[in-house]
Amino acid sequence: MKIRTSKCAGVVVLLSLALIIGGCNRSGSQPGAAQNKPPAFERDLASVQRNNFQKVYVISRPDGAALNADDKAYLKTNMPIETTMRILTDEDRRLIVGTNFDLKPEHLEALNKRFRLEDYTGR
């Protein structure tokens, strides 16, 4: 009887150690750390908004696809060079633009022909 009790106690100790060691997080990060990180768009938008631009625009394709080389060339041609800050975000699906002036009507018209243009000023 004494041998069975000590064997059972030994097994319990070994199982407890296995659970403790197996449950350790060796990576040094917390399991939910990646989930607490804001998505790229919100993080990038906040960084533009912190710069206190007079205007903040978000430009994207109407179909939600990533901006391709032709889209980027069109933006470069039809957006004033004086725009202060541009951040391509959300896996290249959106361009966040910060500027200290209103876009001219001809720029707004050209951009609205091809893209969805949203004014995020003050949001």
Give me the pLDDT at residue 123, please: 82
23-66: per-residue pLDDT in tens? 555 555 555 544 566 689 999 999 999 998 999 999 999 999 99
Give the closest residue to 85 by CA, choosing from 99, 75, 104.
99
Q: What is the rounded CA–CA span in Å between residue 58 and residue 40?
A: 14
Give me the pLDDT at residue 66, please: 97
More confidently predicted of 70 and 9: 70
Which residues lie closer than 8 Å to 92 by C-beta, 6 or more apart? 66, 67
Q: 91 near 60, Cβ under 8 Å?
A: no
Which fold does the domain 39-119 belong to in CATH?
A: Alpha-Beta Plaits (3.30.70)
Q: 73 near 110, Cβ under 8 Å?
A: no
Question: What is the model's pTM?
Answer: 0.68
Which residues lie closer than 8 Å to 9 by C-beta, 6 or more apart? none
